[in-house]
Amino acid sequence: MRDEAEEAGGKWITRRQFLQAAGWTTAAVCTGRLAYAWWYERWDLELTTTALRVPGLPAPFAGLRIAHLTDLHLGKYVPARFIARAVALTQRTHPDLIAITGDFVGYEARDAETCAAEVAKLQAPLGVFATLGNHDVWVGPEAVIPPLRAAGLDVLMNEARELTRGGSRLFLVGVNDSATHQDDLYRACHKLPRGDVRLLLAHSPDILPRAQPFHSDVVLAGHTHGGQVNLPWIGPPLVNIGLGREYVAGLKRWGRTQVYISRGIGMIAPPIRFRCRPEVAVLTLQPA
């Protein structure tokens, strides 16, 4: 009777042996994947480039290059040397403007000084602008904002800046973190003239339903980390935004508003990335 065995390579193995071998193979693959996510991918920094067609963009701003960084999370899981790599990569792209959309620190207020020392190396002709994230709010804005401003960053606290180029202008708006209910779009936007292009910096894409009535043409956001883990055929098993998986990463739309959600630089627990590399994003504006 051979109903208890299967033939493989001229030899007979029992079903139990076959299942044991399959189990060990599966375990080895899973262990390898976990090792890859732990040891390699979370440090495999990617430069992404995206073109944005913006209706009404003034001609002098055509080709404007914006480097977008977010979720640095310097601290327990992200060392300063990795932030330094992201800063160096950003500078090599020669952006016209740099935007950092929050979560400079991971869990400790004391890490703000170290992070500020790294981002102080960022330079762009139109400036380096920042908003706060929920981790920055949790550790205390009073600990995070002063070193960032001393490092040369323009930290936008529910306010706007007029950017000029070739006799034309657009407005850069920055709001505080919406996840901790610190955002105030009315305060940031109500005095701005109608008809000018507006770029909104916000930590979380959950700001989108509220941003569209304030005529935001482009929103740059983070907070999601792209899910950190992106499973085949499933996507991120967990997302930390109310808008759901559709708005976890990349270029999306909410009505007439375009939004780019970056996967970010750092991580939170569990400190792994799988099919979701850390990202420095460069966005180039073009007239629609």
CATH number (domain holding residue 120) = 3.60.21.10
Closest Cα to residue 228, out of 219, 240, 220?
240
Q: Give the single-character DSSP code of 39.
A: I
262 pLDDT band (50/70/90 cuts)?
very high
Same domain, 13 and 139: no
Same domain, 50 and 117: yes
Evaluate whether residue 170 is within a structural domain. yes
Same domain, 29 and 70: no
Same domain, 149 and 263: yes
Using DSSP, state whether 278 is helix, strand or coil.
Answer: coil
In the block, tokens 């920094």 appear at 45
CA 182 to centroid of chain Cα atoms = 19
CA 267 to centroid of chain Cα atoms = 10
Angle between helical axes of 111-119 and 141-150 (0-180°, round to 10): 30
Same domain, 191 and 90: yes
Evaluate whether residue 252 is within a structural domain. yes
Q: Which amino acid does the sequence have at 196?
A: D
Q: Give yes or no for a contact between 142 and 132, defined as CB atoms under 8 angstroms apart.
A: no
- The pLDDT value given to residue 72: 98
Evaluate whether residue 258 is within a structural domain. yes
Same domain, 50 and 173: yes
Pure H helices in the chain: 15-35, 80-92, 111-119, 134-139, 141-150, 185-189, 208-211
- Torsion 223-226-230-232 (CA) sign: positive
pTM, 2 dp: 0.88
> What φ, ψ does residue 89 adopt, rounded to 5°?
-65, -40
Mean pLDDT taken over the chain: 90
- The pLDDT value given to residue 64: 98
Condensed to tens digits (0 to 9), the pLDDT of residues 221-254 reads: 999 999 999 999 999 999 999 999 999 999 999 9
Same domain, 19 and 90: no
Q: Which amino acid does the sequence have at 2?
A: R
Residues 51-63 have a mean pLDDT of: 97
Using DSSP, state whether 280 is helix, strand or coil.
Answer: strand
> What φ, ψ does residue 236 adopt, rounded to 5°?
-65, 125
Evaluate whether residue 40 is within a structural domain. no
Task: Determine the Cα–Cα distance for residues 79 and 87; give it in Å rounded to an integer.
Answer: 13
Evaluate whether residue 124 is within a structural domain. yes
Same domain, 14 and 128: no
In the block, tokens 């507006």 appear at 198
Q: Give the single-character DSSP code of 193.
A: P
Range of the domain at 15: 5-35
Same domain, 18 and 106: no
- The pLDDT value given to residue 28: 39
pLDDT for residue 17 is more than 90:
no
